[in-house]
Amino acid sequence: MPPILVLSAVVRADAPKILAALRSEESLRRRIGRLWLEGAAGQTFDYDEKAKPEDRAAAMEKIEKWFQSFGAKTDPTPVVPDQGLPGANSRAD
């Protein structure tokens, strides 16, 4: 499978979790989401996890458009923290 198709599939699959992390009220989760985004996209879209929500809004709009370019859903959806959200303290039994 060509690398771009693999990346596209990964981005689509991870989009809800990463967007939930970036939208989190917890700065550590936002940082983890930003680091994943930077690794995948090669940029942060001027996202600052320490900024106020209204100051992060413009960056979130750019990020959502980037995810949408891969066909990912960007609607805010609840993600159960212990089911794969970056930064969650999930345990493998």
d(CA 69, CA 83): 25
- Can you give the pLDDT at residue 50? 95
Going from N- to C-terminal start, the domains of the chain cover 3-68
Tell me the pLDDT tens digit for each residue of 23-73.
999 999 999 999 999 988 889 999 999 999 999 999 999 999 998 888 877
pTM, 2 dp: 0.73
